[in-house]
Amino acid sequence: MGYNSPIHEPAPTPVITARRPMNIQKINVGNVNILSISDCLMAVDACDFFPHKSVGAFQQFEGQVDDDCQVNGGINVACFLIESQGRRILVDAGLGPTPVAQAGGAAGNLLSEMRQGGIDPNTIDTVVITHLHFDHIGWLPNPLPDGSVCPTFPNAEYIVPQADWDLLFDPQLPSHVNGEGQGGGESPYPPAVEVFRDSLPVGRLMQKLDNIRLVDGDLNVTDEIAIVPTPGHTPGHQSLAVTSQGNRAFVLGDVAHLPLQIQVPHWNTKADVLPELGIKTRRETLRKLADQGIIVAAGHFPAPGFGRIIAGETRRYWQPL
């Protein structure tokens, strides 16, 4: 769809409007509304997140990382609600209601934020999961006291990448830091796949749901919304291209986690399962988004995560709306 269409002049910059509460913010892309809903902030040590980088390596990025190598302000965990042609499509489902040790004990607020913003979870008809990391699926299952599980968004189909699903439930997925598989033995996967292990508790609950649709590759959700494969961070990672009335936007997922990666797209994080493919996808995606002036919705960038990628004299950089 529009993501691959020829270069043309960038559309006028959309205006961000805030709904109550302030951490729901909205832009219009043609006839499409995109709402950014902040689930929580995660404290992240950049020196741990970017392997082999020391605090000095981050000084070039103008205050994005502090002197203790902590990401300034933490990493936002945003979910995007896209309204298109009468449909309500939620992209990603945050950390969930339970404190997550891997996120510094943070828990999400997505449902309360939605309710305070006047968004009934029952009106969501589709949930697109960019990938199966724990900070993107936490709100999907709703475990009940009797041991059963129901969907948190009961009227929605959950669109999940097949390749990530296959990896999450692969018996050879490491279950321990020493690389031992779920069923014992050597793991064929790189160390980054350990992050998948943190998704297993929610994944096991998701297995009990009957509203999951596994997808592989391109898929049009509406005439205005297309799922686009962007593999590398995970094998099945997917993004969403929005095109309406000549205006375009792109919901990035975790192709990049921080604005600094736009300047250094060859920097992988410790969570990138296929690092070389991740670099290739990041370079190609960021170049297209910059060249074509496409509005970007980046869930881990500072809230609300709407902006453009600008080509500077020597490097590209992030320009928030």
Considering the complex, what minimum distance in angstroms separates the CB of residue 130 from Zn ion?
Answer: 8
Kindly tell me which of 224 and 254 has the beta carbon lying closer to Zn ion. 254
In the 8-state DSSP scheme, what is residue 165? H
Kindly tell me which of 32 and 127 has the beta carbon lying closer to Zn ion. 127
Kindly tell me which of 248 and 257 has the beta carbon lying closer to Zn ion. 257
Q: Which positions ≥6 away from 314 have C-beta within 8 Å?
A: none
Task: Provide the token pair at 261.
Answer: 């990666």
Q: Is 238:162 a contact under the CB 8 Å cutoff?
A: no
Considering the complex, what minimum distance in angstroms separates the CB of residue 49 from Zn ion?
Answer: 11
If phi over 0 gives left and psi between -120 and 50 gives alpha, with beta otherwise, what is residue 203? alpha
Kindly tell me which of 172 and 234 has the beta carbon lying closer to Zn ion. 234
Which helix (H) or strand (E) segment holds residue 194: the answer is: helix 194-197
Considering the complex, what minimum distance in angstroms separates the CB of residue 124 from Zn ion?
Answer: 20
Kindly tell me which of 83 and 92 has the beta carbon lying closer to Zn ion. 92
Interaction site with Zn ion (CB under 5 A): 135, 254
Give per-residue burial for 128-153: e unless 16+ CB within 10 Å, then b.
bbbbbbbbbbbbbbbeeeeeebebbb
Kindly tell me which of 254 and 272 has the beta carbon lying closer to Zn ion. 254
Considering the complex, what minimum distance in angstroms separates the CB of residue 75 from Zn ion?
Answer: 8
CA–CA distance, 262 with 255 (Å, rounded to integer): 10
Considering the complex, what minimum distance in angstroms separates the CB of residue 194 from Zn ion?
Answer: 15
Q: Is 168:132 a contact under the CB 8 Å cutoff?
A: yes
Q: Which positions ≥6 away from 115 have C-beta within 8 Å?
A: 121
Residue 315 to residues 39, 43, 289, Cα–Cα distance (Å): 31, 27, 14
Number of other CB atoms surrounding residue 260 within 10 Å: 22
Which helix (H) or strand (E) segment holds residue 79: the answer is: strand 75-84
Considering the complex, what minimum distance in angstroms separates the CB of residue 233 from Zn ion?
Answer: 8
Q: Is 215:159 a contact under the CB 8 Å cutoff?
A: yes
Considering the complex, what minimum distance in angstroms separates the CB of residue 257 from Zn ion?
Answer: 7
Kindly tell me which of 172 and 268 has the beta carbon lying closer to Zn ion. 268
Kindly tell me which of 247 and 269 has the beta carbon lying closer to Zn ion. 269
Considering the complex, what minimum distance in angstroms separates the CB of residue 64 from Zn ion?
Answer: 17
